[in-house]
A and B are shown apart, each in its own frame.
Chain A
Amino acid sequence: MSPDQTLAFETDCHIFDGCGFPAPGLHSFTFEPIATVGGIEINKPMLLVLLGTVAVVVFFWAAFGRAKVVPGKLQMVGEAGYDFVRRGIVYEALGKKEGDKYVPLMVSLFFFIWIMNLWSVIPLAQFPATSIIAFPAGLAAIVYILWVSLTFRKHGFVGGLKNISGYDKSIGPVLPLVMALELLSNLIIRPFTHAVRLFANMFAGHVLLLIFTIASWYLLNGIGIAYASVSFVMVLLLTVFELFIQALQAYVFVLLACNYIQGALAEHH
């Protein structure tokens, strides 16, 4: 591995050295393969996803593997997280009776997404895996397939279409237009925004962190050192902000998933 592949920018470039600002961009999100396993070229985001999977499983295995009625510290933390998703999101949106079936999915989604986001600020990793569209898209696709199939299973084909298109006779003559827009919105735009909301937040957050991190290094020359310190403070502030956004986006993703399922199970409105 050359330094170019592990760091997001050139390390020997400083201001006043006749060297332009190595601005981050789309190239910050493309990675050379680290290794090839079974014909698949493994790059850094993939590695982070796999490590994140291991981290989530190991953490919750340690917390819940030998769960006790009187919990240890780790189990208490795990239970707090589990209860947050279960009660705070799933039961809120779907109710206890309907929601119980979807708790495992939502808990997995929340912690999986959160750890993918969290890589953004974990030293050495420092890249949110969810800023690669493939990962949020895969998860959004699972949710999409689930709620669409639930809609048709619950209401039948015509009823399902009515449910998705917001069929309501009382609207009057604009009903066809509304139905067309609703169909477009729910069937095509919804999964796209579901995935892109998470992806774009993480993408933008990473770019912000990169800009100030690179600037802190780039400005480290002569009078620029004063500006570098300001930039570094921004890195710290944005790191805290990103920590918040990472949890928030995981929450929003799961909340929307619950809302879609709730809409699928609801009677015609």
Chain B
Amino acid sequence: MIALVNLAEEEAQNPLLPPLPELVIGLIAFAIVFIFFAKKLLPNINRVLDERRAAIEGGMEKAEATQAEAQQVLEDYRAQLADARHEAARLRQEAQEQGAALIAEMRAEGQRQREEIIAAGHAQIEAERKQAGTALRQDVGKLATDLAGKIVGESLEDVARQSRTIDRFLDDLEAKAADGSKAEAGR
């Protein structure tokens, strides 16, 4: 500083004293720059920066909305998928149950039919046996009476007598058969 002042004295000029023309020119030049910036250029760029911010924020909002929508769709889809799985499982279960019930029913029905058929068979056999027994008895009686008539020479036409005789004969036969079976069982 001192050196500077000394130099300034020697050269008869002070670098710290502003010359007026430079001061004026400098202020005018700065005023021009300032006016351009303040009136035109900075409002211009600020408007654009605001627009850009709005655009970016709008874009981000849109992206967020899209993302939320995608998430929603995904959740819906997942829910639907889960529902479908449940439904399928339920249907399968139901089908199984129905199948089992059907099988049981069929089995019961089959059993019932079988029993019916067996019962019917038994009844038929019994009936046929009775019919055969009756026919046999008549035939045997007829044969026996015919035979006896031929032997005795007397017609045993009298039905009551005839049947009594036949019955006695058959009872004897049955008693003999019972004795025989008893003797067989005893042996």
Binding site for B on A (CB under 8 A): 25-27, 29-30, 40-41, 45-46, 49-50, 52-53, 56-57, 60-61, 63-65, 67-69, 71, 75, 78-79, 82, 103-105, 107-109, 111-112, 132-135, 137-139, 142, 196, 199, 203
Q: Which 9 A-B pairs have the closest CB atoms?
A: A134-B22, A134-B18, A104-B38, A67-B48, A135-B26, A53-B29, A134-B23, A108-B34, A138-B26
Known A67-B45, A103-B42: A57·B25 in contact at CB below 8 Å: no
Residues of B within 8 A of A40 (CB): 21, 24-25
- Tell me whether B13 and A134 are in contact (CB under 8 A): no
Contact size class for B?
35 or more
Binding site for A on B (CB under 8 A): 7-8, 11, 13, 15-27, 29-30, 32-34, 36-38, 40-42, 44-45, 47-49, 51-52, 55
- Tell me whether A26 and B17 are in contact (CB under 8 A): no
Closest to B35 in A: A108
Known A69-B52, A82-B45, A134-B22: A57·B16 in contact at CB below 8 Å: no
Measured CA separation A48–B167 after assembly (Å)? 163
- Tell me whether B16 and A50 are in contact (CB under 8 A): no
Residues of A within 8 A of B16 (CB): 133, 196, 199
Residues of A within 8 A of B51 (CB): 69
Measured CA separation A45–B23 after assembly (Å)? 11
Measured CA separation A132–B23 after assembly (Å)? 9
A-B contact count (CB 8 A): 113
* Among candidates A27, A104, A199, residue contacting B42 with C-beta atoms closer than 8 Å: A104
- Tell me whether B27 and A57 are in contact (CB under 8 A): no
The smallest C-beta distance from B174 to any residue of chain A, in angstroms, reads 125
Known A53-B33, A112-B30: A64·B41 in contact at CB below 8 Å: yes
Measured CA separation A75–B49 after assembly (Å)? 11
Measured CA separation A25–B52 after assembly (Å)? 52
Closest to B38 in A: A104
* Among candidates A41, A60, A107, A142, residue contacting B21 with C-beta atoms closer than 8 Å: A41
Closest to A203 in B: B15
* Among candidates A78, A134, A135, residue contacting B45 with C-beta atoms closer than 8 Å: A78
Measured CA separation A180–B49 after assembly (Å)? 47
Residues of A within 8 A of B37 (CB): 60, 104, 107-108
21 contacts between A and B (CB under 8 A): A25-B7, A49-B25, A49-B29, A53-B29, A53-B33, A56-B33, A60-B41, A65-B40, A65-B44, A69-B52, A79-B45, A103-B42, A104-B34, A104-B42, A109-B30, A112-B30, A134-B23, A137-B18, A138-B26, A138-B30, A142-B30
